[in-house]
Structure 1
Amino acid sequence: MAKKKEVTVEERLRALYDLQLIDSRIDEIRNVRGELPLEVRDLEDEVAGLNTRFEKLEASLEVINNDINSKKNLIEEAKALIKKYNEQQKNVRNNREFNSISKEIEYQELEIQLAEKNIKEYKAQIEQKKEVIAETKDRLKERQNHLKHKKGELDAILAETEKEEEALLKKSDDYKDSIEERLVAAYTRIRTNVKNGLAVVPIERGASGGSFFTIPPQVQMEIASRKKIITDEHSGRILVDAALAEEEKEKMDKLFSKL
């Protein structure tokens, strides 16, 4: 079995910084998209909710119209009964029968009054619902247009960046596979804990990149010697010297331009 090539500290540092440059480029691409994917998702949810509301309102209108028809049928039935009872009253044999039929007629007349009152209330409900339906329809149309616009924006950005992002993600995985696990784990942990996602930074004007804490000259010399992996005592970031950083940046810029 072939012996695995020994990787020097400098090679590890270069690979880690290259990985950082790749991941930072992915971050840039995702920042360009910004909140758009979330906006689109929220708008899709809102449109779906408005559609559901619109359907429920339409269904409730149908229910009210059915109720109105039921009441109209009840009125017709009551009128038919009143007509029938009026005919029966002409042939009654005594006052008791007359009074009994009169009560039935009175009851049916009350049923008609109540049904007419219900129909009036239902019609008022229909007018109210029609107003809400019109408002919902307008809101739905406006949200659909807004969603279409935002989707167009997102699709345009995705068309520009998706291919590059996929290629960069693959490169990131390739680099992680080539670096020993403990270093990848440390890199990932630091990257997760820092605000800008920078886990590996160069020395800039005597301080670690993005920091104001000066690094002692002796430590700067150790970093420049590339003999061991050194982290910033304040931020925990892995440090590389400016010359190495510049060399790797030039190399990676050429790689990015091909993607």
Structure 2
Amino acid sequence: MTNVKEMSVEEKLRALYDLQLIDSRIDEIRNVRGELPLEVQDLEDEVAGLKARNEKLKADLEQIDDQIKAKKNAIEAHKEGIKKYTEQQKNVRNNREFNSLTKEIEFQELEIQLNEKHIKEMKASIEYKKQQVADSQEKLSSKQSHLEHKKAELGDIMAETQKEEEFLTKLSAEYAANIEERLLAAYHRIRSSVRNGLAVVSIERGASAGSFFTIPPQTQVEIAARKKILTDEHSGRILVDNVLAAEEKEKMESIFANI
């Protein structure tokens, strides 16, 4: 269990409000970045996918080209076969041998026609895939340009805010270490369940900040007395009086100004 010094209720309220101010400042910094880190990651994944697709298309083109070469070689082999069987026909002894060689020649001619048909189809496939490569490359160039722009944008924001965020994150941990575990757990639970991450708010014009529900006068008096930790019955947020809030804001702004 964390060793936390015994604090008065007022000290606890001040510590909680200080922690809220620090964490809200961190939230602001992260909101400036917004979805940029996710956008950059998505674009990087998309660019990697397009590059892989381009490589696959280029590999397909090479494979088709090799197949065309093989078909052309086969055509040449079949032509040689025709020459050979034609020469053999000159030396046949009977019609049966002549007819047999004629069938061989016809077969070779059919094979040539079939290979030429395949070559024609493969050449059409090459033209289609070349267009796919061109379209994919154009899309890749556009995505890469967009990615570089977003990375530069994120880099600028990170350069401006990283030092401050690191300082505030460390400061948040230091302030949290001085708050008893039960209160800190309640703070984090409320913070994760409410809008804008505001777990500790001040009273403004008779209502909790950001709320239209009026706080009963007697409760406002108790909050101002700083003898009990009270929560807004509507939002569950921990409440502090506006005087305490103003004092802690001034103190924390002084710290933030020196980052």
- 1:12 aligned residue: 12
| Cα distance in structure 1, aligned partners of 2:110 and 2:217 | 102
Gaps of 5+ in 2: none
Aligned to 1:54: 54
CA drift of 1:4 comes to: 7.3
Provide the residue aligned with 1:82 in structure 2. 82
* Distance (whole Å) between structure 1 residues aligned to residue 150 and residue 32 of structure 2: 14
Partner of 1:240: 240
Residue in 2 that maps onto 1:203: 203
Q: Contact between 2:5 and 2:178, CA under 8 Å: does it hold in 1?
A: no
CA contact (8 A) 2:4 2:180 kept: no
Q: For residues 168 and 78 of structure 1, what CA distance do their matches in structure 2 show?
A: 80
| Count of aligned residue pairs for this structure pair | 257
Aligned runs of 1:1-259 on 2, under 5 Å?
Answer: 5-259=5-259
1:75-96 CA distance string (max 9 Å, x none):
0100011100001110011111
Letter in 1 for 2:113: Q
Q: How many Å separate the matches in 1 of 2:158 and 2:171?
A: 19
Deviating above 2 A after TM superposition, structure 1's stretches of 4 or more consecutive aligned residues are 3-6
Q: CA offsets, 1:208-245, max 9 Å, x none?
A: 01000000110000000000100000000000000000
1:257 CA drift (Å): 1.0
In 2, distance between residues paired with 1:99 and 1:168?
96
CA separation in 1, counterparts of 2:6 and 2:83?
Answer: 109
Identity of aligned residues (%): 70
Deviations 1:39-70 (A, max 9, x none): 11111111011101100000000010011001
Pair 1:76–1:4, CA change in 2 (3 A): closer
Aligned to 1:230, what secondary structure does the other structure show? Answer: coil
Q: CA deviation at 1:175?
A: 1.1
Counterpart Cα distance in 1 of 2:131 and 2:139: 12
Q: Which amino acid aligns with 1:221?
A: V
Alpha-carbon contact 2:64-2:126 (below 8 Å) kept: yes
Q: Tell me the TM-score normalized by structure 2.
A: 0.98
TM-score, normalised to structure 1, is 0.98
Q: Could you tell me how far 1:6 is from its partner in structure 2?
A: 2.6
